[in-house]
Amino acid sequence: MTATMEHAPSGTHAPQILYPGDVACGGRGERLETLLGSCVAVVMTDPRRTAGAMCHIVHPAPAPAGRAHDTAYADAALMAMWLRLRERGLQPQLCEAYVYGGGNMFPGIYPHRPIGERSVQQVLDALTHNGVRLLHHDVGGAAYRRLAWTVGPDAPSVTAIGI
């Protein structure tokens, strides 16, 4: 799955809205947005903030056989992000990352090790394994998160809404 650019008035960029399983890459001034519950979003950017990528991960487990490119899975989503960053001339290992989401949307049902927590751990392990510097994370808890980032010098904006 891939997020598409919506049409906007000339001279402005409409946000790229990411839905579960989407991956998007944008240049300076482009806006990436998503809404998270137990899903996890990763934002990666070069240190100069000239480009950035975002993914919306649904499943922490590796993609099953026959679905290796299904970006709803953490491994496929990260690989798709890294490919898009490379297409822009960036080395993912030299990028910086932000990680958001992984909320426990059903704390009464899943009080121990909910899927969001497993997704967050999978992503953090993959970033560490690949030498990607983590700048910030806002994860866990019983909350939805609205995430927005305009590619550029500012950090992503996240608003948590408790359930």
Residue 10 is assigned to a structural domain of this protein: no
State the pTM of this model.
0.89
**pLDDT at residue 11 greater than cutoff 60:** no
Taking residue 116's Cβ as centre, other Cβ atoms within 10 Å add up to 25
Mean pLDDT within 22-34: 97
The crossing angle, in degrees rounded to 10, of helices 74-87 and 115-129 is 40
CATH code, 140: 3.30.1330.200
In a domain, 142, yes or no: yes
Residue 99 lies in a domain: yes
CB 138 within 8 A of CB 31: no
Give domain status of residue 60, yes or no: yes
Question: Could you tell me if 21 and 58 are in contact, meaning their C-beta atoms sit under 8 angstroms apart?
Answer: yes
Residue 2 lies in a domain: no
Question: Using 50, 70 and 90 to split pLDDT, how confident is the model at 111?
Answer: low
Rounded CA gap, 53 and 116, in Å? 21
The mean per-residue pLDDT over the stretch 17-24 comes to 98
Computed over every residue of the chain, the mean pLDDT equals 91
Query: In total, how many domains does the chain have?
Result: 1
Helices and strands (H and E) in the chain: how many:
2, 9
User: Quick check: is 38 in a domain?
Assistant: yes
Contacts of 113 (CB under 8 A, 6+ apart): none
30 closest CA partner among 44, 47, 50, 15: 15
Is residue 9 assigned to a domain?
Answer: no
Identify the three-state secondary structure at position 77: helix
Query: The domain containing residue 40 runs over which residues?
Result: 16-162
> 3-class secondary structure for 94-120?
HCEEEEEECCCCCCCCCCCCCHHHHHH
* Half-sphere exposure of residue 131: CA atoms within 13 angstroms, side-chain side: 4
In a domain, 6, yes or no: no
